[in-house]
Amino acid sequence: MSESKPDTVPGLGFKDKEKALETLKNLEGRDPDYQKLAVKGLVGRAKRTLTLTKDKEKLQNINDAMAVFEDFLKKYELKNMSKENRSYLPIAHIDALIPLKEKFKIVSKEIDNFLEAYRNKAKGDYKNLRTVASGDDKPTWDIVRNTELKKLLKVMEEESPDLWKDDLPTKEHMELILWAYSPDATKIKKNVSAYESKLGTGKKDEDEDMEEEDEKEDKKKSKKDKGSKRKSSTSDSGSEDEGSPKKKSKE
């Protein structure tokens, strides 16, 4: 039995109409692009299964499931659901701007938990958030994120705040960024180094830290080597003196 991938939502299938409806329920609230991708994948698998199945009841059940999926895909295109897809900012881009969270006094345990899940549990891969629950019997983080972004974007649409001030995100913009989204993601990507420099978030890189550690180790070794050489030369000269006949002083 193969293990499910960390980025694949479990419980999807095309056995019959009931399973297809359950599948759509499991996909509800997730990234629209992923919903479409998952459903199209199931339709493809269902079509292949039909060519291998002779049982009439099974054939009918699978066709019923496919009808549910085809209906979903039609509605997806009609509603232009892809426009609701909110591309993820890489965790490194968020980290570059993280001091603004404190500056704007954005206090939220849920945001902290989301970032921890994105950074550590999902290992920085947003696709893995599809299978990381936000708590016991609670939705996965991809669903929580989309729900929160929907609320924030509705407010932004009504109030039309600025996204930038002095080349840094405003508070309203930062609230979106903390949920790994920005309407101006390209600008953020281009300026990550500038943010790190301006806000002091550049990793005093792990490489630099390691170099410093290596330098310290080298210095320690150098001191030890010098010390052992001194001891060695002292003991060597001592043995030579003891082994050599001493000249008698002239009386």
- pLDDT for the residue numbered 239: 36
Nearest-5° angle of CA 4, CA 9, CA 147? 150
Place of tokens 């600025």: 162
Place of tokens 């309203």: 172
Distances (CA, A) of 183 to 89, 162, 189, 204, 246: 10, 12, 12, 29, 91
Which two tokens mark 2? Answer: 């193969």
Give the model's confidence band at 195: pLDDT under 50 very low, under 70 low, under 90 confident, else very high: very high
Alpha helix stretches (DSSP H) within 163-205: 171-177, 185-199
Asked if 21 and 75 count as a contact pair (C-beta separation under 8 A), the reply is no
Asked if 191 and 167 count as a contact pair (C-beta separation under 8 A), the reply is yes
- pLDDT for the residue numbered 240: 36
Give 34-81 pLDDT, tens digit per residue: 999 999 999 999 999 999 999 999 999 999 999 999 999 999 999 999
- pLDDT for the residue numbered 214: 55
In this predicted structure, the answer to whether residue 250 has a pLDDT above a threshold of 50 is no
In this predicted structure, the answer to whether residue 245 has a pLDDT above a threshold of 60 is no
Give the model's confidence band at 193: pLDDT under 50 very low, under 70 low, under 90 confident, else very high: very high
pTM reported for the whole predicted model: 0.78
- pLDDT for the residue numbered 5: 76
In this predicted structure, the answer to whether residue 196 has a pLDDT above a threshold of 80 is yes
Give 2-45 pLDDT, tens digit per residue: 455 778 899 999 999 999 999 999 999 999 999 999 999 999 99
3-state secondary structure of 181: coil
- Dihedral of CA 208/211/216/219: which sign? negative
- pLDDT for the residue numbered 131: 96
Give the model's confidence band at 242: pLDDT under 50 very low, under 70 low, under 90 confident, else very high: very low
3-state secondary structure of 168: strand
- pLDDT for the residue numbered 120: 98
